[in-house]
């Protein structure tokens, strides 16, 4: 093995958080920064086209294509867990939906020992991220690296869905990221001019010409290196060769909630029982590594639509050709759509501090939801997810081979509150679609169908139908207790010069899609790292 190349900071992972860190840590010009990404550059033409996510979800060049272990509570199914691969990570293939969550999410973090992570603490970092095109608001910001726009398409069926929600007693909400999250409206997405803006576009591209930033792709990190309890660098496989990279200041893990715990475990950091099963010697006992896995579980309710006004028929034949021509000429039309058109956030019972169920309305229905293959007849879908699941699972290395996928065990629907909220959320969705504004469009319910009436029926449907919506987090959770993997400064507890800055540090999942929170975490991490460097 060659002598190591040496940098001040070595960032493991070129995804959402890694791109932010690469930009911010190299900005002063005082530090030599290396970012290592196991995937390649984001060159596929579908990446910049928002609707192209469906073409990339099964592409191994841009998706690790992880899957869960089959579990009895979800029908013994293997459930797809897409993870973005390549510079930009999951922002290359996600639905671009930008949801901060609720202020109380972050206040709860602070109250459970994550000092400095209350909403007032993290709000400046959300504002630092954003270039929001909507109305001015003290909680929003313009001028940040990431453009945030409201979905531009306004099909009549989406307007009818929002009107139906109002008829059912729910408010219209023009900005769920400012003030109250309750209500219905259109999603906000990270796009500019009808094109996806990934973390690589927003953060990495402006920094690539800096002489103090090095970016290595196709570099799969195998393990961390140490002197005593201090992290000194990493070993990575580039092609067929193993290379060492040394860090004078810190190693920062930003490989995501699936692979960050795997790298730690294969470096001897984790639950001794798990490490023993892998045949890996214990360097540092940290029982919380790979535990506390949290994700959003989502069912998809479908209806047949009376009129040919859905994506099912608009994405075939001549109509698709016309849509492609429209997008090419104007950057408008159906190719600007991702995974969510209209949103809904509702409370399923009295006494809640905020919504506990989120809806994703699309004028499309899927023959295969995991692969986004559309039906041939007109249809519409409401995705239903519980926002704050209590169920906890695990993600652990399954093999001492660093190239083997981790073992993902979600333990979905194990908590009674999760089952209750999912059932109630689906009932509310049906009630909304039954309102008069949907009469011109609604033909009949396809899934779960009119025979689904009892709570047991609803729960059975949830167990058979549900999928993850790819919001994995929590596997190296932050906190002040003995089982916390990272402290509130994101340093790995008990070790020196090693930090985690990705979704794995979340002690609890946020109330919504997680990408906005990951951008925020990485922005705050950069300031925490800079503060330590200046001390």
Report yes or no: 506 and 317 within 8 Å, Cβ to Cβ. no
471 is catalytic: yes
Pairing verdict, β 373-374 and 366-368: antiparallel
Cis peptide before 448 (omega within 30 of 0): yes
In angstroms, what CA-CA distances link 405 with 12, 60, 156? 17, 13, 44
Could you give the CA distance from residue 278 to residue 265 in angstroms, rounded to a whole number?
9
Q: What is the DSSP string of 118-139?
A: SHHHHHHHHHHHEEE-S---TT
HEC sequence for 428-472: HHHHHHCCHHHCCCEEEEEECCCCCCCHHHHHHHHHHHCEECCCC
Name the token pair of 439: 């009469």
Q: Choose among 37, 82, 61, 400: nearest CA to 221.
A: 37
DSSP H helix total and E strand total for the chain: 13, 27
Could you give the CA distance from residue 476 to residue 484 in angstroms, rounded to a whole number?
7
Strands (E), 377-441: 379-386, 394-396, 407-409
DSSP at 502: S
Pairing verdict, β 467-468 and 297-305: antiparallel
- The count of residues in the chain is 535
Could you give the CA distance from residue 286 to residue 301 in angstroms, rounded to a whole number?
41
Backbone angles phi, psi at 517, to 5 degrees: -65, -35
Q: Choose among 182, 186, 197: nearest CA to 363.
A: 186
Report yes or no: 338 and 96 within 8 Å, Cβ to Cβ. yes
Q: What angle do CA 525, 90, 199 make, to 5 degrees?
A: 55
* Residues taking part in catalysis: 471
């Amino acid at each position: 093995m060659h002598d190591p190349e040496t940098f001040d900071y070595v960032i493991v992972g070129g995804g959402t958080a890694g791109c932010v860190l690469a930009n911010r840590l190299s900005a002063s010009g005082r530090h030599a920064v290396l970012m290592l990404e196991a995937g390649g550059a984001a060159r596929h033409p579908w990446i910049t086209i928002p609707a192209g996510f469906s073409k990339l979800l099964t592409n191994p060049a841009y998706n690790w294509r992880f899957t869960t272990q089959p579990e009895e509570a979800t029908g013994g199914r293997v459930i797809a867990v897409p993870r973005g691969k390549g510079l930009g990570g999951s922002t290359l293939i996600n639905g671009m939906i930008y949801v901060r969550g609720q202020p109380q999410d972050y206040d709860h973090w602070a109250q459970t020992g994550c000092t400095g992570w209350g909403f007032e603490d993290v709000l400046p970092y959300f504002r630092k991220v954003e270039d929001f095109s909507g109305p001015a608001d003290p909680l929003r910001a313009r001028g940040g690296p990431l453009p945030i726009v409201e979905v531009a398409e306004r099909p009549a069926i989406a307007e009818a869905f929002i009107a139906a929600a109002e008829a059912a007693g729910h408010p219209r909400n023009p900005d769920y990221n400012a003030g109250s999250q309750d209500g219905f409206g259109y999603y906000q997405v990270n796009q500019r001019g009808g094109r996806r803006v990934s973390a690589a576009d927003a953060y990495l591209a402006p920094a690539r010409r800096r002489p103090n930033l090095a970016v290595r792709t196709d570099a799969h990190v195998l393990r961390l290196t140490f002197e005593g309890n201090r992290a000194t660098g990493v070993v990575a496989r580039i092609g067929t060769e193993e290379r060492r990279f040394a860090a004078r200041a810190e190693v920062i893990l930003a490989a995501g909630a699936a692979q960050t715990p795997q790298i730690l475990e294969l470096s001897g950091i984790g639950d001794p029982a798990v490490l023993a099963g892998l045949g890996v010697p214990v360097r540092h006992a940290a029982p919380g590594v790979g535990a506390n896995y949290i994700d959003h579980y989502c069912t998809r309710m479908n209806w047949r639509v009376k009129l040919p006004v859905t994506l099912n028929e608009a994405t075939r034949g001549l109509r698709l050709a016309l849509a492609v021509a429209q997008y090419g000429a104007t950057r408008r039309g159906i190719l600007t759509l991702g995974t969510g058109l209209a949103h809904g956030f509702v409370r399923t019972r009295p006494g809640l501090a905020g919504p506990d169920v989120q809806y994703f309305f699309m004028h499309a229905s899927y023959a295969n939801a995991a692969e986004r293959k559309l039906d041939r007849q007109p249809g519409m879908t409401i995705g239903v997810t519980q926002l704050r699941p209590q169920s906890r699972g695990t993600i652990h290395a399954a093999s001492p081979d660093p190239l083997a996928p981790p073992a993902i065990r979600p333990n979905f629907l194990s908590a009674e509150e999760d089952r209750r909220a999912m059932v109630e959320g689906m009932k509310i969705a049906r009630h909304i679609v039954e309102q008069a504004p949907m009469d011109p469009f609604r033909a009949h319910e396809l899934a779960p169908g009119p025979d689904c009436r009892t709570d047991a029926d609803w729960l059975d449907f949830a167990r058979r139908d549900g999928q993850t919506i790819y919001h994995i987090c929590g596997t190296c959770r932050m906190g002040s207790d003995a089982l916390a993997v990272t402290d509130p400064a994101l340093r790995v507890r008990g070790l020196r010069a090693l930090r985690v800055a990705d979704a794995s540090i979340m002690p609890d999942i946020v109330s919504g899609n997680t990408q906005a929170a990951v951008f925020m975490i990485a922005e705050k991490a950069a300031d925490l790292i800079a503060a330590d460097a200046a001390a």
